[in-house]
Structure 1
Amino acid sequence: MRRRWPLIAFVTLLALVAAVAYIRNAPRQYRATALVSIDTKAETVLRATAETPDFNVQSANVDSQVEIMQSEELVRRLSQTIAQDPALVASLRPSGLTLQTVRAWLQPHSEADADPEQGLARMLQSQTSIKRVGLTHLIEISALTATPQTAAKLANAYADAFIQDQLRRREESARRTSEVLQARAGELQRDAQDAQNAVEQLKFAGSQQNENSAAARVRLQTLESTAQAYRDLHDRFLQRYVETWQQQFLSVPDAQLASRAFPPIAKAWPRELWILAAAFLIGLSAGSLLALARRRPRLPAAAPAPI
């Protein structure tokens, strides 16, 4: 190693020169971050009684929202919105040697690549990242693009798309529930009306026949109780239907925008110190391996001449 130090220095210097050349020519990329807060108590706003919060249930809810945010459906909805902004679409296309281009080269091409919407959705997935901030109720949305303005715009658009998707899901759930309750309330109303008709018919028949027996009174009380039970059940279903119908207009999404993304000041890539440090270690290791590979083998010692 001491005899081959010029070789080690040359390889290390060569790696540093290559790193400097990459830093000077690599495209600049900027990262913007938005924070979304998941309100796990939003569902209890319109409820009559509040439930005791469970930390495990709330934590699982936040993790579920992270997975929903990364779903293909939400990314495709976002891509339809992004497609209307040509400047933002242009900033998503990686140029030069970046992590995104290397990942694109390694991925096999398929027929889905010919679909522009599918291609835009893939670019969104490759240049955005979603993660939960520790054990909090905050979700971090990061966007990496070629300019600071488009990075902030993309992160905010992602957060807005997720919040609108949450609102749409809650409205659809309330609408489906109200439709089911409305149908059931109609059935109960018909049952209550049938029971009331049976009561009136029995009263009319008894008055015509002057029937006042114990069996007739018991039957009349049973029919009246049945009719009253149907009316009470119908009233409860009707009240629940009105509540769910109102929730369509008072729906509060679970997600709220805690902090909007702003254009970053410093670039996220390339990072000069990291690249130079990695190039130095790679050059030093490669030079050392070459020095060890080029060492001369020692000749065996000559045997003493016989006397």
Structure 2
Amino acid sequence: MHQRSQQLDSHLFRDDEPREERFIDLEVLAAAIWRRAWLIALFAALGVALGVAYLLVTPPVYTAATRILIDENLAKFTQEEPPVSSNMRIDSMMSSEVEILKSAQLARTVVLAEDLHNNEVFLNPPKAPVAWLKSQARAMLSLFGPSKSDRQTEEADIGKATALLQQGVSAERVGRSLVIQVSFRASDPALAGAITRAYADAYLADQLEANFDATQRAMTWLQGRLDELRQSSQTAALEVEQYRAEHGLTASSGELISEQQLSDLNSQLILARAETANARARYEQFKSIIDSGAENAVRSATIPPDQPNSTLINEMKSRYLTISNRLQDVEAQFGEDHPQAVNLRREQGELEQQLFRELEQLTETYRNEYSVALAREESLSGNVGTMSDESSETGKALVKLRELEQRATTLANLYQTYLARYEEASQQRSLPIAKARVISQAEDPVGPSSPSRTVVLALSLVLGLFAGGGTAAFQEFRERFFRTGEDVRDALGLKFLGYLPLLGKTGRAGAKGGRNDKPQNEKTVTVSPNILRVTKDAPGSSFAETMRNTRHSADLLLHGNSSKVIGFVSVLPDEGKTTVATNFACLTAASGAKTLLIDGDLRGRGLSRSLSGTSGGGLVEAIAGDKHWPNYVRIDRATQMAILPASGRHFAHTSELLSGPGMQKLIDEARRMFSYIVIDLPPLGPVIDAKAFEPMADGFVIVTEWGATPRALLRSTLQSERRIAAKAIGVILNKADMKKLARYATPGGAESYVGRYGAYYGDRVE
């Protein structure tokens, strides 16, 4: 017994035990949805109902649309080349056109063109209830304002119509194209189509007027600017000619004669310097070859083909190389002293001397050419210096002349540019071409665009489902009660004994089978037949099966005790522990075991009130020692179960009675007479009577109400009452709704198959 207490205690109070992290179980989620399906369906129906109500009270709106293409190619007749358009420029242009379509000026033009400020359908369309109330409130407030004249009223109507038109019109670019879609929403389809078409016409007319006005203003400004530029250009040209004549700056072919001469000398000097550099390079090259010696000069010299003796020298050099190669072959085969080798060396030396002399002559020729070129260069350089000195004075005057010519040229070019722009603007003014065209004409809509019945109903349904799902999820998160045996094992770590279905109300004494005809002094009572004797009246029911499982668990756990003292407790009042204790005692008594049922709830006395013939005293008098306790025991005629009622007298210190020596003596004597002593104890929460009786009890059966007993409350109570928890035989879930039980079952749990067990229960309990 002590070992079992330690195991239960360690299992129940493992607060720091790590819990397994699991992903969302779809089956568990589906079960939760099924449990709350009625709530989700209720919210979904409410959402659809609200959607239908919205459709009934909201007036329909019709939308007409037209598409306008911004095409700059339409103006190709008025310009030679279209401007190059970048993506950024196109985006800016399209944004500008959209803003023009949304502008108040264009809206006012449409209002006046369609006479919308006098159109009651446009000014006062059907409104939703909220909007109608707002408009009525504004109308009532306007009555207290100052009166307006007819002119002011007309302007106010135009302003109101313009504002309404701007609110209803929509203009947006179609993708990345050059197309703008213009649409308008109205309560009348014909009005929506007419206004949209008027918008397109007004936009095209506005473009033409804007182009004409801009061209007209440009021409007026260009005309005045052209007169100024013409006068300035003529004055600048006259100043150039006067200055040229005063300083003798005669020009030929548009250039001064002194400048032409100096330019020619500079060109000749550049050529002379190039020739001198070329001649010097050839001379220094061949001089370095001659200075290297005869043999090296002959081998490394390269004769240009344009020299007079180049052919002869190259032939001699080729012959020299041939003799040299042959000499190497002869010396390699016959040695240096061979006669043929001696002859070849002699012939080689003669050719080498001839070639060296030719190279010396060629080098001298190059030296003479270099001297002539250098002299010519020095002569030209002197002439250029002289001409530069002579033209210094002319250059000073020429600087001023260039300045005057540049100014005259600039003014002339500017005049020609403005003249071309003036002619271009004059031509464009006469061409009524806009850079836009309508590519999709607006038609009268055949059906309302809003509210869309499908969208509204679908959205209402979805919102209702979301609201219902959220409420259901909130209720699921607030689910803190015992529903299944898995909840008992997870929260408490105690054995789950079974479910007891919800029964009818407790019947009064003698309600079934007639009244007890025996006199009261025969110490017999009648137990209410409905719920206190289910195990006797319906032994084949699921209720009786749970009681048998409870007895079997108690017998296994307390198998060493010849007489078992079992207390029935709950954490809250009205959880049915009295009913469970009475039925457990009926079961053991009906099986032939001697059973004593004690009403230990001295404050509630639920068992004693359900009995008849209990006015002669009970447990309180027996403990007080007024009479020996068997004198207060009553015997149930049907089951021969011994019942010791509480008493007819109230006592304040009930815990002292249950824990005192009188109670201990009663239990010790009862153990020698009965196999089962079942005691109905008060709830654990409000009083300490059960804790006071705990040392005398062998085990406790904990009764909890299905869907009503908070798990946290029972757990904390057992944590504080560790001795009772250690002696706990198990937990019974009482008042279970067997029809709803399957909804709370874990996937694959036994509760999912409760309906299949019905054939094994012979008796049906109502």
2:426 aligns with one of 216, 231, 245: 245
Which residue number corresponds to residue 168 of structure 1? 209
Which residue number corresponds to residue 117 of structure 1? 158
- CA 1:8–1:185 in structure 2 vs 1: closer, same or farther (change >3 Å)? same
State the shift of 1:6 in Å: 3.0
One-letter identity of the residue aligned with 1:259: S
Matches within 5 A, 1:97-136: 97=128, 115-136=156-177
- CA 1:192–1:4 in structure 2 vs 1: closer, same or farther (change >3 Å)? closer
SS at 2:78 equivalent: coil
Which residue number corresponds to residue 447 of structure 2? 266
Between 222-231 and 287-296, the greater mean CA deviation after superposition:
222-231
In the alignment, structure 1 residue 96 sits paired with structure 2 residue 127? yes
2:58 aligns with one of 5, 19, 26: 26
> Taking structure 2 as the reference length, what is the TM-score of the superposition?
0.33
Count of residue pairs brought into register by the alignment: 289
In the alignment, structure 1 residue 278 sits paired with structure 2 residue 459? yes
State the shift of 1:49 in Å: 3.7
Between 290-299 and 12-21, the greater mean CA deviation after superposition:
290-299
- CA 1:224–1:38 in structure 2 vs 1: closer, same or farther (change >3 Å)? closer
One-letter identity of the residue aligned with 1:134: G
One-letter identity of the residue aligned with 1:261: A
- CA 1:261–1:245 in structure 2 vs 1: closer, same or farther (change >3 Å)? same
State the shift of 1:285 in Å: 2.5
1:47 aligns with one of 53, 64, 79: 79
Distance of 2:417 and 2:36 partners within structure 1: 90
SS at 1:41 equivalent: helix
CA contact (8 A) 1:152 1:262 kept: yes
Distance of 1:98 and 1:257 partners within structure 2: 38
Distance of 2:405 and 2:34 partners within structure 1: 107
Distance of 2:68 and 2:424 partners within structure 1: 28
In the alignment, structure 1 residue 57 sits paired with structure 2 residue 89? yes
Distance of 2:235 and 2:70 partners within structure 1: 48
State the shift of 1:81 in Å: 3.1
One-letter identity of the residue aligned with 1:23: L
Between 115-124 and 179-188, the greater mean CA deviation after superposition:
115-124
CA contact (8 A) 2:102 2:169 kept: no
- CA 1:145–1:102 in structure 2 vs 1: closer, same or farther (change >3 Å)? farther
State the shift of 1:281 in Å: 1.7
State the shift of 1:66 in Å: 1.5
Long gaps (5+) in structure 1: 203-212
Structure with higher RCO (Cα < 8 A, 6+ apart)? 1
State the shift of 1:101 in Å: 7.6
SS at 1:268 equivalent: coil
Which residue number corresponds to residue 66 of structure 1? 98
The two structures, once aligned, show a CA RMSD in angstroms of 4.1
State the shift of 1:232 in Å: 7.5
SS at 2:445 equivalent: coil
State the shift of 1:71 in Å: 2.7
> Taking structure 1 as the reference length, what is the TM-score of the superposition?
0.75
State the shift of 1:156 in Å: 1.1
Distance of 2:165 and 2:133 partners within structure 1: 16
Which residue number corresponds to residue 469 of structure 2? 288
CA contact (8 A) 1:92 1:127 kept: no
SS at 2:72 equivalent: coil
1:148 aligns with one of 170, 173, 189: 189
Long gaps (5+) in structure 2: 1-32, 146-154, 255-400, 482-709, 728-766
SS at 1:33 equivalent: strand
